[in-house]
Chain A
Amino acid sequence: MSGSSNIVTMKKIVQQLRLEAGINRVKVSQAAADLQQFCLQNAQQDPLLTGMSSSNNPFRPQKVCSFL
């Protein structure tokens, strides 16, 4: 009977919401500071950010020097 399956679905939704409502959260200021710190700590190792030189990047063309 559709009535009882609606209740079962609703019960699942309520149980899920109870779970989600109960989790521990941190303030955005704290979370944002941590995200920022991670970026800054790893910035030097980020080739696309630092624009690593052609000689180190396997995808950039090597400049070929030839004697004239």
Chain B
Amino acid sequence: MACQGLQKGETLASLKTESDGLKKKLEVERGKLNDVELHQVAEKTEVLGALSIKTRRVLKGHGAKVLCMDWCKDKRRLVSSSQVRTSTDLWTREHGVSLPCTWVMACAYAPSGCAVACGGLDNKCSVIPLSLDKDENLAAKKKSVAMHTNYVSGCTFTNSDMQMLTSSGDGTCALWDVESGQLLQSFHGHTADVLSLDLAPSETGNTFVSGGCDRKANVWDMRSGQNIQSFESHESDINCVKYYPSGDAFASASDDATCRFYDLRADREVAVYQKDSIVFGASTVDFSLSGRLLFAGYNDYTINAWDVLKGNRVSILFGHENRVSRVKLSPDGTAICSASWDNTLRIWA
């Protein structure tokens, strides 16, 4: 077997020594710049008042645990998926259109609003065009795009309906051409299931972040497939990753009952959102429009709203009767939608 790029004299032992040395160097370099904590910088910022956020809608209709949801850019429609089916819900009318997709763990609206992607235990991610015609045979129009060798845990369209990014239990992420189903780029580096991914806000270029069961969060260059940065500070699986609205940072939710905040330019963790009283895993996070609030859904059925800068919890949103599997901000920032194993979705505003 060809060992490419091996320099003369390099052995497994010498590489191991170099690897250990480099890891230490990374720690030292990152440490040098850690001159202050985020919450210290934020000390002079005004404390946030109590939030007046409450449940405004409860969307019923799924007969099973709701695992995923996504907003349409029109701010009115959502797509949500459960173990049994995927449906688009018009929240104003609270009725859904059922889509032919089962065992769905991930779903996403296309930027145009004209199609939905869904994937899960079938190891695939498929795209279904939406139709106003109720009699339309959507099953016939469903098209497989992504093919992984294990379950699909996350999917998102890139800036258009033409390309899709997926994350998988097979340890990889991949970029696909929707029309042809062609694999455009694959991303290798995680050493266990990848559970979540998020695309950087468009102004900041072609990168995305992924998190997984290897406790690592990796930032990738979409074009080259290169892993540009890696963060390993969680003590258990990372269930969800989400970019801060400016694109310079991202947050993660983990089974270790904490959420963490990583700054990309400082290349390190800059905050941990935790409390002794919070002992259940966090499954999902999303930021408010300004990035000041971080909403996190937990396995203890609650959603906590954290002050991102100061690090304290601002509010607890009660209402769900089982684990919260997903929280997502509406496109205009006026509401949060949460999906739960209690078979419902809630809109909070």
Chain A residues near B (Cβ < 8 Å): 1, 3-8, 10-11, 13-21, 23, 25-36, 38-43, 45-49, 51-52, 57-61
From B6, B51, B244, B308, contact of A48 by CB (8 A): B51
A35 / chain B contacts, CB cutoff of 8 Å:
38, 244, 246, 248-249, 263, 270, 291, 308-309
Contact yes or no, B1 A11, CB < 8 A:
no
With A4-B1, A28-B37, A32-B270 in contact, is A57–B334 under 8 Å at CB? yes
Those of B317-344 within 8 Å (CB) of chain A? 329, 332-336
A19 / chain B contacts, CB cutoff of 8 Å:
226, 228
Cα A19 to Cα B36 in complex, Å, equals 26
- Given A10-B15, A23-B229, A28-B33; 7 other pairs, CB 8 A cutoff: A10-B12, A21-B22, A32-B270, A35-B263, A38-B248, A43-B292, A59-B57
Q: Is the interface of A mostly helix, strand, loop or mixed?
A: helix
From A4, A10, A49, contact of B292 by CB (8 A): A49
B59 to chain A, nearest CB (A): 12
The closest CB in chain A to the CB of B230 belongs to A20
A11 / chain B contacts, CB cutoff of 8 Å:
3, 5-6, 10, 15
Those of B265-324 within 8 Å (CB) of chain A? 265-268, 270, 288-293, 308-309
Cα A41 to Cα B244 in complex, Å, equals 14
Contact yes or no, B42 A3, CB < 8 A:
no
B34 to chain A, nearest CB (A): 5
Any chain A CB within 8 A of the CB of B180? no
From A26, A31, A48, contact of B289 by CB (8 A): A48
Contact yes or no, A46 B347, CB < 8 A:
no
Cα A49 to Cα B336 in complex, Å, equals 12
Contact yes or no, A3 B56, CB < 8 A:
no
B32 to chain A, nearest CB (A): 8
Cα A38 to Cα B290 in complex, Å, equals 7
Contact yes or no, A45 B290, CB < 8 A:
yes
With A7-B15, A8-B3, A23-B229 in contact, is A49–B288 under 8 Å at CB? yes
In this complex, which of B35, B42, B334, B335 has the most chain A Cβ atoms within 10 angstroms of its Cβ?
B334
The closest CB in chain A to the CB of B11 belongs to A7
Contact yes or no, A42 B290, CB < 8 A:
yes
A4 / chain B contacts, CB cutoff of 8 Å:
1, 3
Going nearest first, the 7 A-B pairs with the smallest beta carbon separation are A42-B290, A46-B290, A17-B22, A59-B349, A31-B266, A32-B41, A10-B15
A36 to chain B, nearest CB (A): 6
A37 to chain B, nearest CB (A): 9
B323 to chain A, nearest CB (A): 23
List the one stretch of B23-31, B105-113, B123-131, B136-144 in contact with chain A. Answer: B23-31
Contact yes or no, A14 B18, CB < 8 A:
yes
A26 to chain B, nearest CB (A): 5
Contact yes or no, B334 A28, CB < 8 A:
no
Any chain A CB within 8 A of the CB of B95? no
Q: Jot down 20 A-B pairs with beta carbons below 8 A, ordered by A.
A: A6-B12, A7-B12, A14-B15, A17-B19, A25-B30, A31-B263, A35-B244, A35-B291, A36-B309, A38-B244, A39-B292, A40-B45, A43-B292, A45-B290, A46-B290, A48-B335, A49-B288, A49-B289, A49-B292, A52-B334
Contact yes or no, B347 A59, CB < 8 A:
yes
B293 / chain A contacts, CB cutoff of 8 Å:
46, 48-49
From A17, A33, A58, contact of B41 by CB (8 A): A33
A26 / chain B contacts, CB cutoff of 8 Å:
33, 265-266
Contact yes or no, A51 B19, CB < 8 A:
no
Cα A31 to Cα B37 in complex, Å, equals 10
